[in-house]
Chains A and B, each alone.
Chain A
Amino acid sequence: MSAVEGMDTAHVDAHDHHHESQNFWQKYVFSEDHKIIAKQYLITGIIWAVIGISMSVIFRIQLGMPDSNLSWLKPILGGWISESGKLDPNFYLALVTMHGTIMVFFVLTAGLSGTFSNFLIPLQIGARDMASGFMNMLSYWFFFLASIIMFASLFLQAGPAAGGWVIYPPLSALPQAHPGSGMGMTLWLAAMAFFIVSQLLGGINYITSIINLRTRGMSFDRLPLTIWSFLITAVLGLISFPVLLSSVLLLIMDRHFGTSFYLSDIYINGEALPNVGGSPILFQHLFWFLGHPEVYIVLLPGLGITSEIIATNSRKPIFGYRAMIASMLGIAFLAFIVWAHHMFVTGMNPFLGSVFMFLTLIIAVPSAVKGFNYITTLWKGNIVFTPGMLFSIGLVSLFVSGGLTGIILGNSALDIQLHDTYFVVAHFHLVMGAASAFGLFAGVYHWFPKMFGRMMNPTLGQIHFWFTFIGIYLIFIPMHYVGIAGFPRRYYQFTSYDFTHKFMDMNMFISVAAIFSFLAQFIFLWNFFYSIFKGKRAPLNPWRSNTLEWTTPIEPVHGNWPGEIPAVYRWSYDYSKPGAKEDFIPQNIPYSQTLESNFPHENELIATEKLIEAQNFNDQFNAH
C-alpha cells in the first residue's frame, strides 16, 4: 500500500467554497462544522450520562439499602415513591431499562463515537471538514430529536419503557402485560428509529470522509489507529443498525397493526389473543444481530483512542500497528457471527449453541493480542501520566479483567447457571460500560485543548481517575461474587427467595461504592465546564504528539488549517526514534528533514516526497 499509488485513483472533489459570514444560528446551532457538531454530541452525551448514571444510583439504593426511606426523592419522582417512601416496582424496572438504553445508545454510542469520530476524522486525516457537512448536521439533529422523544417518555404518567433495554416481546409488544409497554414503549421505539437514522447518516459520512478525504500522502498504513477504529466502528454500525431498525419496525407493526411477527399462542388478562405463528425468538435474533456488534461499536472507538494516547504518552510507537488493525478487523468480523451467545438458554438448537460458543471464544484471541500489544507499548516507555494516559491505562486493565469473564459466559455449558445473573451484569459493565467510558474520559482529557483551546486541570483529572478507577473495581468485583451466588438480575428486591437471602452487606457495599464513584464524576464535570471558560490557555501541541490535529491553530478555524492542508510523509508513531533531535516527529515532517533518524527504507521514500507535494485534490477549499 504505497502512499502515492493509492491517491491516483482518489476522487477529486469539485466543491466550490465561499467564505460567507455566518450568523449565530448557523455557527453554533445548525452548524455544519464538524468541530461544533462534535461538541454538540459531547455536551448532549454528558447530559445523558448524568441522567443515566443518576438512575443507576437510585436503583442501587433500592438494591443495597432496601429498607431506606426514599421520600427525599419525591420532589423528582413524585408518585413513583409510595407514601411509605418505597420505590415502585414498575418504576424500578423502568429505571433499569432506561439506564441501559441511555448508557449504551445515547452516551457510549452517540456521546463517544459521535464526538470523537466527528472531531478527529477531518483533523487527523487532514481534511477541511466531513464529506457532507449537511448530512453531518442532520445526523446530530436526528440524535437530538431521538433524545427529546426519549427524554419526554420519562415524564409519562405510566412511566417510560420498562421491559429491559433489550425490550424482548411479547412483554414489550403487549400494553396489557406491563405499564411500561404502553406509551413509554411507543416513544422508546420512535426515539430509537430516529437514533438509528442519525447513526446511519453519521456512519456513511465517517466512512466516506476517511476513504475520500485523506490528505496528500495519508495512505491507509499511515492512518492513526483512532481513525482505523472509527472506520471499523462506522462499518459495523452501517451493517448492523438497519437490522435493529427492521426489528423495531416489525415490533411497531405487532403493537399497532395487528401483525404476528413476534407473537404466538398468548393468553393474557383473561383473553386468548388471535396471533399465531410468530416467534419471540425471532426478535432476539434480530436484536442481537445489532446488539452484539453494538458492544464493539461502543468499545472500538475507546480502544482506538487508547492506542493513540498510550503511544503518545509512553513516548513510544504503538507496538504492532498492523497487528492492532488486524485484530480490530478480526474482532469486527467475529462480532457479526456471535450474536446467539446471548441466547444459549432460549431453547434454540443445542448444535447452534455449540457453533456460537466456538465462534465466541475465538474473539478472545484478537482481544488478547490487543491487550498484550498495549502492555508492550508501555514496556520501556517514558510514561507521562496525563489524565488521558491514566484513563487509557485504566481502560486496558478494565478491558482485560472484564473480557476474561466473557470467556466463562461464552461457554454455553457454564452460561446455563450464570445467564441473567449479576455475573453477566458485572462482566459487561467492566468490559463494555466502564472500559468505553474510560475511553470517553481519556479522549476528552486528551483532546480538550484542541476542542476548547484551554487545558483541563491535570491534578483534578488525576484525582478523578483514581477515584473512578478504584470505584469501578469496588463495584464490579463484588458484583461477580453476587452473580456466582446465583442472584438474578432485574430483581426489584431479593427478599422472595431463600437462595438470595444472603450477601445483604455485599449488596450494600456495591451500592456505597456506586454512590462514591458517582460523586467522583462531579470532579470531572466541574473541571470540564470550568476549564471551557477559565482553563489555562493551551499551547499548540501540549502532549507533543505526532498527529495532524496538532498542526492546526490552537483553536482550529473553519476549514481547520488557515493555509494549505499539510502533506503527510510518515506514520503517526515516530516517537523516540533513535537519532532524532526530539522524542517525536510529527506526520507532516518529510524524511528529507530527518536524515539523522531515518531507517534505510525510509531514505528511499524521500524520492516520493515531491510526488506527494504535487497532489492537491482533496482540499475542498482548493478545487481544481
Chain B
Amino acid sequence: MYYIIALVALVFVVLTGVVIARLQDVIKSVKKEEAPDAVPAGNKLNGAMFIIVLVLGGIAIAWSYLHAREFFLPEASSIHGRRTDDLFWFSMGVLTIPFILVNFLIFFFAWKYQYKKNHRASFYPDNHKLELIWTIIPAIVMALLVFTGWKAWSDITSEAPRDAEVIEITGKQFNWIVRYGGVNDNKLGNYNYKLIDAQNEVGIDLSDENSFDDFQNPTEMHIPVNRPVLLKIRARDVIHSVFIPHMRVKMDAVPGMPTKFWFVADKTTAQMQSELNDPNFKYEIACTEICGQGHFSMKINLVVDDEESYKKWCSEQATFLQTYPEYLAKVPDNLKAKAMKGLPETTAAPADSTASASL
C-alpha cells in the first residue's frame, strides 16, 4: 500500500534526473555567456524545483498521512488517554497551520524572488511592528497549549483516589513481575531488595503481615474495568519503563526510587475484542527504556476484566506463601499462625516442621 509513497519518491528521483540533464545544457550555455556576476548555473531550475517539491511534497504528505492514519494512536482504553489523544490532535491541528504556512512561504519566496537580471533586492533591514506581531502571536498560542496541557498533566499526575486498586509492577532484565495485595487484606506487604532470591523475585518481606496473602504473576496482569488502578512501579537492576500503549500509560521503573501512575481503564479486553473485531486482541505492556539485550521483547500481557471476573481471578491465584511454603521460615514466630491461615494444611504442616527444625 505504501508503494505509492515509493512511487512519489521515484517521481522525485526521475525529476531530479531531468533537472540534471537540463542543467548540463544550461551550464554549457552559461559558459558561453560568461556571466560576470556569481550566479550559478541553473538558478531558474532550482527555483522551479522549490515549487515542484512544494506541490509534490504537499500531496505526498497529505496522502501518506491519510493512509497511515489507521494505525495512529491505537484505540485508547483509558479515560485520561482519550483526553490526551484529543489534546494531541488539537495541538497537531494548531501546529499544522504554521507548518503549512511557513514551509509554503519559504518555498514560494525562494521561487518568486529568485535572481533576475538588472533587478535589485529591497533594502529592508527591520520592522519592529512586524517582529512584535510574530513574537506575540506564538506567545499567545503557546500560552493556550501550555494551559490545556498543564490542566491535563496535573489531573493525570494527581494523587490516586483512595479506592484505587493498588498493584505493584517490578521490572527486571528482561521481564515484568506483578504483585497484588491479596484477597484477605488487599494490602501490599513491604519489600527489601536484599531479600530477593530465585523464588522471591521482588524481595517480599515476610516479616510484614500484609505480605502473607500477596500473590504475584510474571506472565499476566489483570486489572478491573472502570475502577482506578494505581501502579506502584519499581525496578530490580537497571532502569526500565512501563509502557501500556492502549492506556496511554508510561512511567519509568527506577531502582531505588519507586514511582507510580494511576489510571482508569474503561474497556475490558472482551469489549475491545468485539469493538476491533479481533478475537485475538490483547493489551500489552512493553519496556521503553533501554535495558539491555532483551529490551525489545520485555513483554507482559494485560487483561482488563469486569469486576466479577477480576475478583474471581484474584481469588484463584496462589499466594506467594502457598507457592513457596518454605518461606514460612522467614515469618516471625508471633505471626506464624496468621501466615498459615490461608495455607492448605498438608503444605502448612511440613513447612511448619522445617521452620521449627531450623530454629
Contact = CB atoms under 8 A, between A and B. Distances in A.
B299 interface: yes
A384 B50 CA distance: 13
A381 B282 contact: no
Contacts of B139: 365
A375 to B, nearest CB: 5
Contacts of A573: 125
A407 B145 contact: yes
A592 interface: no
A491 interface: yes
Given A368-B134, A414-B87, A578-B123, A486 B74 contact: yes
Contacts of A492: 295-296
A573 B109 CA distance: 20
Contacts of B303: none
B126 A354 contact: no
Contacts of A378: 105-106, 109-110, 113
A499 B245 CA distance: 8
A287 interface: no
A177 B145 contact: no
Contacts of A506: 2, 68
Interface string A417-442: 10111000000000000000000000
A345 B241 contact: yes
Interface in A498-519: 498-499, 502-503, 505-506, 508-509, 512-513, 516
A536 B86 CA distance: 57
A361 B145 contact: yes
A65 B292 CA distance: 22
A416 B123 contact: no
A470 B37 contact: no
B40 to A, nearest CB: 4
Contacts of A212: none
B257 A264 contact: yes
Interface in B250-289: 250-252, 254-260, 280-282, 284, 286-289
A543 B38 contact: yes
B120 to A, nearest CB: 5
B123 A317 contact: yes
A505 B250 contact: no
A278 B256 CA distance: 8
A91 to B, nearest CB: 10
B126 A323 contact: yes
A407 B148 CA distance: 13
B32 interface: no
Interface residues of B, number: 125
A93 interface: yes
Nearest to B281: A498
B59 interface: no
A404 B295 contact: no
A237 interface: no
A384 B257 contact: no
B124 A316 contact: yes
Contacts of B334: none
Contact of B126 (A319, A371, A477, A542): A319
A365 B138 contact: yes
B9 to A, nearest CB: 6
Contacts of A373: 131
B95 A404 contact: yes
Interface in B1-50: 1-3, 5-6, 9, 12-13, 16, 19-20, 23-24, 27, 37-43, 46-47, 49-50
B121 A380 contact: yes
B349 interface: no
Given A264-B256, A400-B99, A385 B241 contact: no
A421 B239 contact: no
B292 A376 contact: no
Interface stretch (B150-158, B181-189, B215-223): B150-158
Given A178-B293, A279-B256, A462-B23, A361 B142 contact: yes
A48 interface: no
A203 B108 CA distance: 39
A54 interface: no
A484 B295 CA distance: 20
B33 to A, nearest CB: 15
B295 A417 contact: no
A361 B146 contact: yes
B196 interface: yes
B329 interface: no
Interface string A380-413: 1111111100100100110011001101100111
A561 interface: no
Given A315-B120, A481-B71, A266 B46 contact: no
A505 B127 CA distance: 48
B144 to A, nearest CB: 10
A345 B73 contact: no
Contacts of A379: 109, 113, 124
B83 to A, nearest CB: 8
A485 interface: yes
Contacts, number: 386
Contacts of A319: 124-127
A358 B139 CA distance: 11
B296 A491 contact: yes
A347 interface: yes
A497 interface: yes
Interface in B62-120: 64-65, 68, 71-74, 81, 84, 87-88, 91-92, 95, 98-99, 102-103, 105-107, 109-110, 113-116, 119-120
A465 to B, nearest CB: 8
Contact of A316 (B64, B123, B194, B237): B123
A383 B95 contact: no
B104 to A, nearest CB: 10
Nearest to B292: A178
Nearest to B91: A408
A129 B122 CA distance: 36
A362 interface: yes
B106 A393 contact: yes
B9 A267 contact: no
Contacts of B43: 384-385
Nearest to B294: A89
B9 A380 contact: no
B358 interface: no
Contacts of A350: 153-154, 157-158
B313 to A, nearest CB: 21
Given A346-B252, A583-B121, A485 B5 contact: no
Contacts of B256: 263-266, 276-280
17 contacts: A93-B295, A177-B238, A266-B237, A266-B256, A320-B126, A345-B241, A350-B153, A364-B138, A364-B142, A379-B113, A397-B103, A413-B87, A459-B20, A459-B42, A474-B12, A490-B290, A499-B74
Question: Which 4 A-B pairs have CB atoms at the shortest separation, nearest pair first?
Answer: A264-B256, A347-B259, A350-B157, A413-B152
Interface of A: 89-90, 93, 163-164, 168, 170-171, 174, 177-178, 263-268, 270, 272, 276-281, 314-323, 345-347, 350, 353-354, 357-358, 361-362, 364-365, 368-369, 371-376, 378-387, 390, 393, 396-397, 400-401, 404-405, 407-408, 411-414, 416-417, 419-421, 458-459, 462-463, 466-467, 469-470, 473-474, 477-478, 481, 484-486, 488-494, 496-499, 502-503, 505-506, 508-509, 512-513, 516, 539, 542-544, 573, 575-578, 583
Given A384-B43, A407-B91, A485-B74, 18 more contacts: A170-B237, A267-B196, A280-B239, A347-B254, A347-B259, A350-B153, A364-B138, A369-B138, A375-B105, A375-B106, A382-B120, A414-B84, A419-B288, A462-B46, A481-B71, A496-B296, A497-B299, A575-B121
